[in-house]
Amino acid sequence: MDGMTISLLPLSALFTLLTAVLTGSHTWMLLHNVTTLEQMRAQDWHEAEEAALSARFRWYELGKKEAVRKRWRREWGTVYVEGNRWFVGYRRNWQGTMGARKLLWLLPLGRPVDDGIGFPVNPRVGADGGWRKRELWPTELQ
């Protein structure tokens, strides 16, 4: 092998790795129906929750910390799903962006599913967009 081929192998491996990471992160954001900024805000909420738990419990009180975290999840749900104003289900999120026809997912053809002006809203959040407790959600989602 010549030097050019040897130098291209690690570069192509690096490119493949970075492309796979970007594809994975954008797929995750598409399934949760968030933009990069909304994902960063949710990450901030998640980190604030972790900081509050760490301030309340010492490092060796992992069981107590996890019990409080589970109680919060039962009461409120998670930041990325129940606290996300635009989450309407993984399938609907995907189809809202990619369309309902699987054959057209790889080709940018066809018409959008929605009008681009009004968007469905997560029924777990209030009219003001605020995160609500589980007891206030619609009965079928509790």
**Over the stretch 2-28, which tens digit does the pLDDT of each residue have?**
888 888 999 999 999 999 999 999 999
Residue 130 has pLDDT above 90, yes or no: no
Residue with tokens 């959008």: 112
pLDDT in tens, 61-109: 999 999 999 999 999 998 888 888 999 999 999 988 888 888 888 887 7
Cα distance from N-terminal residue to C-terminal residue, the chain: 62
**For residue 117, how many other CB atoms are within 10 A of its CB?**
5
User: What are the tokens at 103?
Assistant: 């054959």
Higher pLDDT, 95 or 114: 95
The domain tally of the chain equals 1
Task: Find which of 51-55, 77-81, 138-142 is predicted with most confidence, using mean pLDDT.
Answer: 51-55
What is the reported pLDDT for 4?
85
Residue 65 in contact with residue 53, Cβ under 8 Å? yes
Q: Where are the alpha helices (DSSP H) in the chain?
A: 3-32, 36-56, 62-76, 90-98
| pLDDT classification of 52: cutoffs 50, 70, 90 | very high
Residue 115 has pLDDT above 80, yes or no: no
Farthest CA pair distance, the chain: 67
Query: For residue 84, what are the domain limits?
Result: 3-141
User: What are the tokens at 45?
Assistant: 């909420």
